Amino acid sequence: MDTFFGVIIGVLISLAIVAYLNTLKNKRIVNSQSVLLLDKIKSVCKFITVEGDFAEIYHFEDVKERFLKLVISKKKALIVINAKAHIGYDLSKIKLKADKDKKKILLEHFPQPEILSIETNLNYYDKKDGFFNKFEASDLTGLHNDAKQHILDKIPESGLIQLAQKEALETISLIEKIVETIGWKLDYSSLEIEDDKAKKIQ
């Protein structure tokens, strides 16, 4: 009889140990999943939602005076700027929190759209050197920087930022699909996206 009870107790202890080890194993898997998932979302990093093309004419003129201002030397150029601006979201700025018990990712903060990159192509027309005032490599570098700044100044009035704000839900939908790849859910019920008037995501 004692042997029978001993066997039962031994079996129960073994089952308890196995169950405990399985619990630890599952917990490790869930923890690994949550860390992997958060890293996966942030690794997408920059997500372009709007692309804008610009064509601008930029007039450059530089005048130098020599010999007690008796000689004036002028260099000038007419520059056509073709540029492409990419507007979207830097996903490294989002704030996420994992609820491991419910296998849920809480989206706590979503960033504003921003200018992610600008590609510029410059074509020079009517480019003329002055006798004592010639174009140098540094001038061309400066012109390229000026052209990029010229496009940057144009973006706020172009409406591209506002257009990108309207694509916020599409970006959140992308994150939701990433979360669902391992059977988790994305919760953004309390998220507010800031625009002219803060609004709650439905």
Starting from the edge strand earliest in sequence, which strands make up the sheet with 185-187, in order? Answer: 95-99, 104-109, 185-187
- Measured CA to CA, the distance from residue 56 to residue 29 in angstroms comes to 55
105 phi/psi in degrees, rounded to 5: -105, 125
Q: Is 41 exposed, middle or buried (0-12, 13-18, 19+ CB in 10 A)?
A: buried
Say which residue the tokens 């994305």 belong to. Answer: 186
Q: Say what the pLDDT of residue 82 is.
A: 93
User: CB under 8 Å, gap of 24 or more: what pairs does 162-165 form?
Assistant: 162/195, 163/50, 163/87, 164/49, 164/50, 164/87, 164/88, 164/89, 164/113, 165/112, 165/113, 165/193, 165/195
The pLDDT tens digits for 157-177 are 888 998 888 888 888 888 888
201 phi/psi in degrees, rounded to 5: -80, 130
- Measured CA to CA, the distance from residue 100 to residue 119 in angstroms comes to 42
Indicate left, alpha or beta for 138 from its phi (over 0: left) and psi (-120 to 50: alpha): alpha
In this prediction, residue 87 has a pLDDT band, given cuts at 50, 70 and 90, of very high
The pLDDT tens digits for 25-84 are 444 444 455 555 666 655 556 778 889 999 988 888 887 766 666 667 788 888 898 999
Beta bridge partners of residue 183, listed in sequence order = none
Higher pLDDT, 162 or 128: 162
Q: How far is CA 75 from the centre of its chain?
A: 40
